[in-house]
């Protein structure tokens, strides 16, 4: 090769380098610095829940979300990674706030009551790739709906260490679509509602098996030394849907404990939520994730303004508590100390405040609610430490020493 050929070759290499996309170092998985708010549990908390957050942000250029892999089926279209990460960062803070605030028993009346739950994020991992596809969980019109390959994800990041040694009890996974496998994606089929088939909540437990709002497949998650729950969070939605998922997990575990204690789920679903003898939803009790007390229509958080008498703020199993007229304004007009500078601008704020208000009316710390001649326990212990609560015999209603062999103090079982 002569000198002129060498110069020409070098020139071509330089030109190619200039035209090729340059990926930042963080194109590989990044262990993010954890925001102090996320790393610090709410002051005065009774129980602490360590959390790992993982977010899948597929990209082809290192700068923008790859919408061919995280398709746009809502108003959020193409978006830069910087904008998307900032969006998720805000959601994370709101979710933590809502869950902690929701565990303050009737905290809307007395904000100084301690939260039963304090969240502490111990690791934050960002991956600039698509969620690895796992098993096909169903077909719609011949198209497959995939669950993520949790075994592959968790083995890659040694999640056993976080659960077994750092006591992690929750793993929040952000992603943008309901199926990790493309080009099988079809916008008319892979809709957000299919996300719940795997992703709203999913439990792995060596003690009880999967008690969650999922298909309860005990093989889809690795089983470690203690119980943990995976929550699917869609970054094309908001904090409202993310906490909505926690609401369904509460329903799953509390009705399970009710079944263990009473052989049915009447205390939770009929007396607390509000159902008639046929299992049809009724107004006037405490409601559930889909329904405030003044409606029997699913997802009706703001549409029905009809005032209905409810005992939600003085709930007792025998319905002897005082009643008040409630509708969307009851929780929508409450002033909560959101971490946002201007809470009025929070998307789906009213719906989000329904979840907080509903959770605050669950029996919590020092609730002093009685069921017959027995005390209702702090129901947040089952979220705080499922294994210890179940193995210790803690139930929705306290028992006598002769019945279970110990004096139950559900706030102090640790």
Residue 356 and residue 208 share a domain: no
CA distance 64 to 286: 44
Eight-class DSSP state of 64: B
Both tokens of residue 97?
A: 């706030």
* The domain boundary residue, chosen from 232, 254, 276: 254
- Cβ-contact 201, 168 below 8 angstroms: no
**Residue 1 resides in a domain:** no
Query: Where residue 349 falls among pLDDT bands split at 50, 70, 90?
Result: very high
Q: How far is CA 245 from CA 113, 156, 206, 373, 388, in A?
A: 25, 25, 22, 34, 23
Map residue 86 onto helix, strand or coil: helix
CA-only gyration radius of the chain, Å: 24
pLDDT at 190: 43
pLDDT at 407: 34
Residue 177 and residue 37 share a domain: yes
Residue 146: CA count within 13 A, CB half-sphere = 18
**Residue 338 resides in a domain:** yes
Residue 29 has pLDDT above 50, yes or no: yes
- Cβ-contact 280, 351 below 8 angstroms: no
Judged by average pLDDT, the poorest of 65-69, 80-84, 164-168, 341-345 is: 65-69
Q: How far is CA 130 from CA 60, 109, 293, 391, in A?
A: 10, 44, 40, 38
Residue 390's H or E segment, with its range, is: helix 386-391
Domain range spanning residue 382? 255-404
Q: How does pLDDT run across 32-61, given as a tens digit for each residue? A: 999 999 999 999 999 999 999 999 999 989
Eight-class DSSP state of 9: H
Residue 405 makes CB contacts below 8 A (sequence gap 6+) with 393
Instruction: At 211, give phi and psi (nearest 5°).
Output: -115, 95
Q: What is the pTM of this model?
A: 0.88
Instruction: At 103, give phi and psi (nearest 5°).
Output: -90, 5
Residue 110 and residue 183 share a domain: yes
Q: Which of 241, 235, 246, 326 is nearest to 287 (CA)?
A: 326
Average pLDDT, the chain: 87
**Residue 136 resides in a domain:** yes
Mean pLDDT value across residues 375-380:
97
* The domain boundary residue, chosen from 254, 285, 310: 254
Q: Report the alpha-carbon angle 151-95-85, nearest 5.
A: 70
CA distance 166 to 84: 29
**Residue 6 resides in a domain:** no
Query: Where residue 401 falls among pLDDT bands split at 50, 70, 90?
Result: very low
Instruction: State the sign of the Cα–Cα–Cα–Cα dihedral 69, 73, 74, 75.
Output: positive
- Cβ-contact 360, 107 below 8 angstroms: yes
Both tokens of residue 200?
A: 């709203």
Mean pLDDT value across residues 240-255:
97
Count the domains in the chain: 2
Residue 184 and residue 42 share a domain: yes
Helices and strands (H, E) in the chain, number of each type: 11, 12
CA distance 382 to 203: 13
**Residue 145 resides in a domain:** yes
Q: Is the peptide bond before 183 cis (omega within 30 degrees of 0)?
A: yes
Sheet harboring 47-56: ordered strands across? 30-31, 117-127, 47-56, 170-175, 228-234, 202-204
Residue 200 and residue 79 share a domain: yes
* The domain boundary residue, chosen from 254, 273, 293: 254
Q: Which residue has the higher pLDDT, 133 or 117?
A: 117
Q: How does pLDDT run across 305-332, given as a tens digit for each residue? A: 999 999 999 999 999 999 999 999 999 9
Residue 108 and residue 92 share a domain: yes
- Cβ-contact 274, 282 below 8 angstroms: yes
Both tokens of residue 96?
A: 């933590």
Residue 302 and residue 213 share a domain: no
Residue 281 and residue 164 share a domain: no
Mean pLDDT value across residues 258-284:
97
Query: Where residue 131 falls among pLDDT bands split at 50, 70, 90?
Result: confident
Mean pLDDT value across residues 404-412:
41
Residue 238 and residue 89 share a domain: yes
Residue 165's H or E segment, with its range, is: helix 159-165
Residue 320 and residue 388 share a domain: yes
Residue 185 has pLDDT above 80, yes or no: no
Residue 46 and residue 181 share a domain: yes
Residue 236 and residue 265 share a domain: no
Judged by average pLDDT, the poorest of 13-22, 36-45, 158-167, 384-393 is: 13-22
């Amino acid at each position: 090769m002569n000198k002129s050929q060498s110069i020409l070759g070098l020139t071509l290499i330089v030109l190619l380098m200039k035209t090729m996309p340059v990926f930042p170092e963080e194109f590989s998985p990044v262990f993010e610095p954890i925001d102090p708010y996320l790393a610090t549990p709410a002051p005065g908390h009774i129980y602490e829940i360590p959390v790992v957050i993982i977010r899948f942000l597929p990209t082809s250029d290192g700068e923008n979300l790859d919408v061919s892999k995280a398709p746009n089926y809502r108003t959020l279209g193409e978006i830069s990674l910087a904008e998307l990460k900032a969006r998720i960062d805000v959601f994370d803070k709101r979710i933590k706030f809502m869950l902690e605030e929701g565990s303050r028993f009737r905290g809307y009346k007395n904000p100084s009551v301690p939260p039963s739950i304090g969240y502490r994020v111990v690791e934050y991992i960002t991956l600039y790739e698509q969620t690895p596809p796992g098993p096909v969980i169903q077909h719609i019109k011949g198209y497959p709906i995939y669950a993520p390959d949790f075994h592959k994800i968790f083995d890659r990041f040694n999640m056993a260490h976080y659960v077994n040694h750092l006591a992690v009890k929750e793993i929040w996974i952000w992603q943008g679509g309901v199926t990790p496998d493309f080009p099988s994606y079809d916008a008319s089929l892979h809709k957000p509602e299919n996300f719940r088939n795997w992703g709203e909540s999913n439990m792995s437990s060596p003690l009880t098996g999967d008690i969650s709002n999922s298909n309860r497949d005990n093989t889809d998650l690795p089983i470690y030394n203690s119980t943990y729950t995976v929550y699917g969070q869609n970054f094309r939605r908001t904090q409202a849907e993310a906490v909505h998922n926690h609401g369904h997990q509460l329903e799953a575990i509390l009705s399970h404990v009710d079944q263990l204690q009473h052989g049915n789920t009447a205390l939770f679903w009929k007396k607390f939520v509000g159902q008639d003898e046929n299992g049809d939803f009724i107004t006037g009790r405490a409601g559930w994730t889909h329904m405030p007390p003044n409606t029997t229509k699913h997802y009706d958080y703001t549409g029905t303004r009809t005032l209905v008498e409810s005992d939600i703020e003085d709930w007792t199993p025998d319905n002897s508590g005082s009643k008040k007229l409630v509708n969307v304004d009851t929780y929508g007009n409450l002033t909560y100390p959101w971490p946002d500078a201007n809470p009025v601008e929070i998307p789906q704020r009213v719906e989000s405040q329904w979840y907080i208000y509903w959770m605050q009316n669950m029996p919590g710390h020092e609730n002093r609610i009685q069921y017959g001649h027995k005390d209702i326990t702090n129901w947040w212990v089952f979220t705080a430490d499922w294994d210890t609560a179940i193995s210790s015999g803690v139930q929705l209603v306290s028992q006598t020493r002769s019945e279970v062999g110990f004096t139950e103090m559900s706030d102090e079982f640790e």
